[in-house]
Amino acid sequence: MPDQPLHSERYTVALMRKIDAMLGEPLTPQQRKEIEDAVAVFQTRKHPIDLRGVLPLHFARLYFVLLMGKDRRTDEAAKEHDLRQRPKFAARALSTVFMLWPVYLMVGLGYYILTALPH
């Protein structure tokens, strides 16, 4: 099967066709090279752990992907990621507290009723 392009090459070829169709004219060789280089940067790298599968359920087929490997980001990129995640974590924690208030209320009422009953 050496004549068949790799998955990443097939993706790039399909992307180029779609761009050509959207523009109505073919890209110049320089434009094609620039796009290919940009796409190559984001192509999936090999990971030590690459687990993919499908869960066939009665109502839907769900897929999962677990990729694990060494973090190769620069320190600056890792710090930016952490800074972007902090507000999300705070928002999730705050919304969880507010969304659980009916549970807190029910537990409190249940405790009050149980302690008010004569023994």
Q: Please tell me whether the overall predicted TM-score, pTM, comes out greater than 0.85 for this model.
A: no
Please give the backbone phi and psi of residue 49, each rounded to the nearest 5 degrees, phi first. -120, 120
C-alpha span between 12 and 113 (Å, rounded): 66
Domain count, the chain: 1
Residue 47 lies in a domain: no
Segment holding 21, helix H or strand E:
helix 7-23
Q: What is the mean pLDDT of residues 84-99?
A: 79
Please give the backbone phi and psi of residue 42, each rounded to the nearest 5 degrees, phi first. -100, 5
pLDDT at 76: 79
The tens digit of pLDDT for each residue in 21-65 reads 888 888 888 988 888 888 777 666 677 888 889 999 888 899 998
- DSSP state for residue 26 in the 8-state scheme: P
Are the C-beta atoms of 8 and 44 separated by less than 8 Å?
yes
Residue 44 lies in a domain: no
Residue 84 lies in a domain: yes
pLDDT at 62: 92
Are the C-beta atoms of 68 and 48 separated by less than 8 Å?
yes
